[in-house]
Structure 1
Amino acid sequence: MAGEIREGFKFTMADGSVKGLGVDDDGNLYWDKKPVEIKQRISFGWIVNSAAVVAALATAVQAVIDVLQFYGVSAP
């Protein structure tokens, strides 16, 4: 069962009430001190997963290139 709920964000609603978004010690999400239930698990297709991997690799390569350019290393 949930331990202490730590509120990370507080929101003032249009009616003036204050609601909070929090997390307990087990990582469960709470809205206004009530547990948030996820009814359906989200899964992506292989194309989306592949695109995410390609984007991550391209970002890493670009980061290496930028570091090399920063330190003045040039291509042969």
Structure 2
Amino acid sequence: MTMSIPSARSVAFDLLAAVLRQKKSLDQALSENSNLGGLEVRDRGFARSITATTLRRLGQIDALIDIALDRPIPQK
């Protein structure tokens, strides 16, 4: 059995899920993510950058999605 190395994008997705769904801080999500340490330094930086930029721009992303939808997404 071979273990696959996670991509920076999949780690970023996991980090976003930890922050948005589990209500963790980004620092906590970064310190608790076991796959982050398996990435090369460059990829770790990329995963962190994707995550931080997405969180910083989340309001703008949501606004653009709202404009593009015919009807709003139901709130959970």
Report which of the two has the higher share of strand.
1
User: Is TM > 0.5 for Structure 1 vs Structure 2?
Assistant: no
Give the TM-score normalised by structure 1: 0.29
- The higher relative CO (CA closer than 8 Å, separation ≥ 6) is in 2
Give the TM-score normalised by structure 2: 0.29
Report which of the two has the higher share of helix.
2
